[in-house]
Amino acid sequence: MNSLSSDASTENLHIADFLAMPTPEELHQQIPMTKKAAATTTAGRDSLNRILRGEDPRRFVVVGPCSIHDPVAGLDYARRLKALADEVSDVLLIVMRVYFEKPRTTVGWKGYINDPHMDDSFRIDEGMLLGRKFLLEVNELGLPAASEALDPISPQYLGDLIAWNAIGARTTESQTHREMSSGLSTPVGFKNATNGDITVAVNAILSAARPHRFLGISGQGQVSIVHTTGNPYGHLVLRGGDGRPNYDTVSVSLAEQAMNKAKIRPNIVVDCSHANSYKKPELQPLVMSDVVSQIVAGNRSIVGVMIESNLVAGNQSIQSDQSKMTYGCSVTDGCVDWEATETMLREAARRLRPVLA
């Protein structure tokens, strides 16, 4: 039996280059955690965990831009949200949506970390640093942050500044993301599949609650065998599927039954966007209102909602001349504007106060 010659190349056939990244530890030294930011993240996680355990009657709201692309506009939004969060804090725990990584159905802009300058320069090293800087600034305001855990290496760089993580509809069935979730320091919301199936999310919650062993990196950048203890704070996110909503009372009841059967505490978050609003951002307030009505009527399994919101309604395309782009308008999914956000949260707090406060 003939063997390949010693000079035959059988690996990296489609790799153009390897560019060095700073280690997580080096990035932490460049953008160090502060006492205020650490206190914000810890308090946010503790409050979320108490809500998920049924010890805090409030509901949480993950609200903010579909994705961060302009940190100036993002901090403008964060300052406004912090003031509103304080106003409704008796019944609603507000967590800012800070999404840097965007899964794409085919191709497209993959987010602030992958291409921070939105010009196909793909300076991931700069994106990771700028992303950490932005998260630190949000937490310095006293506002906890939420994100989607997509790249399994990113949590080592950014995870200490995040209070809540989502696993997206495209990755909930992924073993890699279930393993990663089992070691995340945050509660994790698993979205139902894009076809609406909640079974994959229920299975993901069960899997992430167990210990796992897998390959990852340490803070020093060393490839390591990661040992996790399991994450007890996995929960279900209903985001609709196949173009149909699943936040109605029947869908919520079926989700409760599936979780009870699996012996999982029926903690459910409703995503007001995506298929639940038929991808029409202007319908998000109607979804929110319906969910609030369910809670007022006695539902106790719905622990939170997600809202895609920005300073300006709708979305826009990325332009080569970025000076022509609209300030505070999403470059990914369409969002409700700030005025609609204020109305949604204030109205929800007003209606929930007699029930939850």
Q: Each residue of 150-202: pLDDT tens digit?
A: 999 999 999 999 999 999 999 999 999 999 999 999 999 999 999 999 999 99
Is the model's pLDDT at 105 over the cut of 70?
A: no
Q: CB–CB of 140/134 below 8 Å? A: no
Give the span between the Cα atoms of 191 and 204, in whole angstroms: 9
Domain assignment present for residue 1? The answer is no
CATH number, domain containing residue 155: 3.20.20.70
Residues 87, 93, 96, 102, CA torsion sign:
negative
Which residues, other chains included, contact 144 with Cβ-Cβ below 8 Å and sequence gap of 6+?
A: 40, 41, 43, 44, 45, 47, 95, 96, 163, 164
Residue 144 and residue 136: Cα distance in Å, rounded? 10
44-65: per-residue pLDDT in tens? 999 999 999 999 999 999 999 9
Q: Is the pLDDT of residue 297 over 60?
A: yes
The answer to whether position 41 is within a domain reads yes
Q: Which residue has the tokens 């459910």?
A: 268
For residue 215, pLDDT over 70 is answered with: yes
Of the chain, the percentage scoring pLDDT greater than 90 comes to: 94
Of 10, 133, 149, residue with least CA distance to 74: 133
The angle that helices 124-140 and 35-53 make with each other, rounded to 10 degrees, is: 80
Please check whether residue 233 is in contact with residue 49, taking contact to mean a CB–CB distance below 8 angstroms.
yes
Report if residue 3 sits inside a domain. Answer: no
Q: Is residue 8 part of a domain?
A: no
Sequence-ordered alpha helix ranges (H) in 234-320 = 249-261, 284-296
Whether the pLDDT of residue 5 is over 50: the answer is no
Residue type, 37: A
Instruction: Determine the straight-line distance between the first and last CA of the chain, rounded to whole angstroms.
Output: 77
Quick one: tokens of 239? 């985001």
Q: Whole-prediction pTM value?
A: 0.96
Residue 14 lies in a domain: no
Range of the domain at 101: 24-318+327-356
Residue 264 falls inside a structural domain: yes
Number of domains composing the chain = 1
Domain-located, residue 86: yes
Domain assignment present for 13: no
Which residues have CB under 8 Å from 55's CB, separation 6+?
A: none
pLDDT for 1: 43
Per the rule left: phi > 0, alpha: psi between -120 and 50, beta: everything else, 298 is left
